[in-house]
A and B are shown apart, each in its own frame.
Chain A
Amino acid sequence: MSELAKTPMFDEHVSLGGKMVPFAGFEMPVQYKNGALKEYTFVREGGAGIFDITHMGQVRVSGSDARPFLQYVTTNDLAKLACGQVHYSALLNDSGTFIDDITTYKISDSEYYLCINAANRFKDVAHLQNEAKSFDVNVSDESDDTTLLALQGGAAQTALQPLVDTDLEKIGYYKFAQVKVAGTNGIVSRTGYTGEDGFEIYIPNAIAVAVWKQLLANGAEPIGLAARDMLRTEMGYALYGHEISDSVTPVEAKLMWITKLDKGDFIGKAAVEMRRAEGPEQRLIAIKLTGRGIPREHYKVFADGVETGKITSGMFSPMAGGVALAYVKPEHADAGALSVEIRGKAVPAERTTLPFVRSNVRR
């Protein structure tokens, strides 16, 4: 087993009572001393939660072919992305299944910045560098030098504003700015994974601890991975390794909205078109237990008494109860009588709509 990596905030996490666990090759805080529920509540009730998500990867794509290259290797349409804008996108393989889901930041026509999943970092970079051989483009993995903090919740802007030289009010939802953070160049985007207003802050490792401490001094509180997963599941946001993987396409994962079949050729396009024509083998649905229990990943889902699929993410939501995302057979996607098998018992459930709780992102 290789040694786990530590982010620059490691000592801060420990001193704040962080319970450190292995996660995507890093030692990360699953919760701090107050526990996941209090952390979750703090973010949902208008605080400013600070998340160390430095484990995630960052890749800079630059060169005269940057745009045609990304148009070919990602699913979303770069023609619709303006400078200073971010969009959600994906890397597919030839089979149309997911290599990763990513966010793409457009700095200019010849420079883009990608945020990728920690567990997929080396796979993604190898794939991008391999595909880049046919283009005049440079793919540079900046993950080791970059700290990524997410600041999420109603008070996020108030906590962050004193640290940056730009009026954050001017950064709209899924927009970003290259700013000075604590006097050093960084990127701040109004993006996140919680359903609350907030920012993701990309800074060099050298100033990470100083920025972290200053945000805490401005009223932010640290939030661990457990609460982060609760917040994202309540929104129904897909997570690689759960709802999306190299065995599903955007058709099954309900991610056709980031897969633009009318933009020209891209890796995986033909396979996705074929899957769409044939119809998916399974469909992702949102369910809510009507009986007592907590639906969890891998639990079996039944429709009209017949096993139809499995849960990919499930949780106890303080606001919505037992909620889950699950893949089911297409013929059962609209079934009324669903149940989840929990410890051998069928617990009744119903199909519901996403998000499970109201989103407060700034539209």
Chain B
Amino acid sequence: MTIPADLKYTKDHEWVRIDGDIATFGISDHAQEALGDIVFVELPEVGRSVDAGEAYAVVESVKAVSDVYAPVAGEVIEVNEELEGEPEKVNSDAYGAGWIAKVKMSGATLELMSDDEYNTFLEE
């Protein structure tokens, strides 16, 4: 299980990469492993506004349906359409090809953890 150092994490096991005012969202390696084989991703619509902590996407594994929550508020400017045909990328490359959405940030954020803090959080 990996926890890249250049990302921030939430207690709901989402990751966010902040680059200027653009944030990229996904779910952590721990989350994809806990879910098991992912067979469907419901993406948000481009142009939608999301609040920090709001469910913006749905990830479905063989046995479970899970909401995915936005780590920071903003407007969705891009979604990973490849996940519609290849949802398994969330399992195989959670921090890369498995990204879910990009938002233009508008300020509010959840409490975000560093990689070390998230690692400690997982061990607790």
- Residues of A near any B CB (own CB < 8 A): 19, 30-31, 35-38, 226-227, 230, 292-294, 296, 315-316, 343
Contact = CB atoms under 8 A, between A and B. Distances in A.
Contact of B37 (A37, A293, A294): A37
Interface in B56-108: 58, 60, 62-63, 65, 84, 91
Interface string B24-47: 000000000000110110100000
Given A226-B62, A316-B60, A343-B58, A294 B39 contact: yes
8 residue pairs, one from A and one from B, having the closest CB atoms:
A37-B37, A316-B39, A36-B62, A35-B37, A294-B40, A226-B62, A226-B63, A294-B60
A21 to B, nearest CB: 9
A331 B42 CA distance: 33
B61 to A, nearest CB: 8
Contacts of A230: 62
Contacts of A227: 62
A293 B62 contact: no
Contact of A36 (B42, B58, B63): B63
A293 B63 contact: no
Contacts, number: 35
A296 B65 contact: yes
Given A35-B91, A316-B39, 5 more contacts: A36-B36, A36-B63, A226-B63, A294-B39, A343-B42
A226 B36 contact: yes
Contacts of B60: 294, 316
A17 B10 CA distance: 27
Contacts of A35: 36-37, 91
Given A316-B60, A343-B58, A293 B65 contact: no
Contacts of B65: 294, 296
Contacts of A36: 36-37, 62-63
B54 to A, nearest CB: 14
16 contacts: A19-B36, A31-B36, A35-B36, A35-B37, A36-B36, A36-B63, A37-B37, A226-B62, A226-B63, A293-B40, A294-B39, A294-B40, A294-B65, A296-B65, A316-B62, A343-B58
Given A292-B84, A343-B58, A37 B63 contact: no
Contacts of B39: 37, 294, 316
A272 B51 CA distance: 55
A292 B63 CA distance: 17
A360 to B, nearest CB: 21
B52 to A, nearest CB: 21
A37 B37 CA distance: 7
B117 to A, nearest CB: 27
A37 B62 contact: yes
A31 B37 CA distance: 10
Nearest to A230: B62
A292 B91 CA distance: 20
A19 B37 CA distance: 13
Contacts of B62: 36-37, 226-227, 230, 315-316
A30 B36 CA distance: 10
A181 B36 CA distance: 35
B63 to A, nearest CB: 5
Given A292-B84, A343-B58, A30 B63 contact: yes
B79 to A, nearest CB: 14
A268 B42 CA distance: 46
A3 B89 CA distance: 38
A35 B32 CA distance: 12
Contacts of B42: 293, 343
Nearest to B40: A294
A30 B61 CA distance: 13
A315 B39 CA distance: 10
A316 B40 contact: yes
Of A30, A37, A38, A293, chain B has the most CB atoms within 10 Å of the CB of A37
A37 B65 CA distance: 16
Contacts of B84: 292
Nearest to B63: A226
